[in-house]
Amino acid sequence: MRNDARPLAVFDLDGTLADTAHRQHHLEGRSRDWARFFAAAVDDPPLAEGVRLALSSAKECEVVYLTGRPERCRRDTVAWLARQGLPEGRLHMRRDDDRRPARRTKLEILQRLGRDRTVRMLVDDDELVCDAAELAGFTVVRARWTPASPALKDAQEREGRT
């Protein structure tokens, strides 16, 4: 482990830093419109509590973003982070063809990050991701500042979409 590097503070996006409520309707019902769901992410309002935590964490940590959003959303996501005044940081995204549950994809990346850096905390709203990270020995801050969305939870766990 490198001693010269600041610890990492790892932040989820949807439901942690970004309010997805305005685009949830794209996931409700039988035919889910993933293209519109992700396209609407550019208009997500920031979640003040998550943004404050990211900004304060940046004083002592390197901020890293870990999202289940697909790689094809990278440009819009980077632009959204910059518009919110969030700290610059590496952005880890799901491969476009990766449909594994978020708890698996995110834990895999978190463990890779933890191989050569100290991960001070993971901040995420997905309870299953948080449970898996805690079981693996990571410190977790559960982002409970927005109501949980059953449609998004299903998307994260069963459909491996975000």
pLDDT of the residue at 34: 85
pLDDT of the residue at 3: 47
**pLDDT truncated to tens, each residue of the chain (162 aa)?**
444 589 999 999 999 999 999 998 888 877 888 889 999 999 999 999 999 999 999 999 999 999 989 999 999 999 999 999 999 999 999 988 888 888 899 999 999 999 999 999 999 999 999 999 999 999 999 999 987 766 666 665 555 555
Whether the model clears a pTM of 0.85, i.e. scores above it, the answer is yes
pLDDT of the residue at 103: 87
pLDDT of the residue at 1: 45
Closest CA to 137 of 99, 111, 155: 111
Q: How far apart are CA 162 and CA 97, in angstroms?
A: 12
pLDDT of the residue at 99: 82
pLDDT of the residue at 152: 63
Token pair, residue 24, equals 């949830």
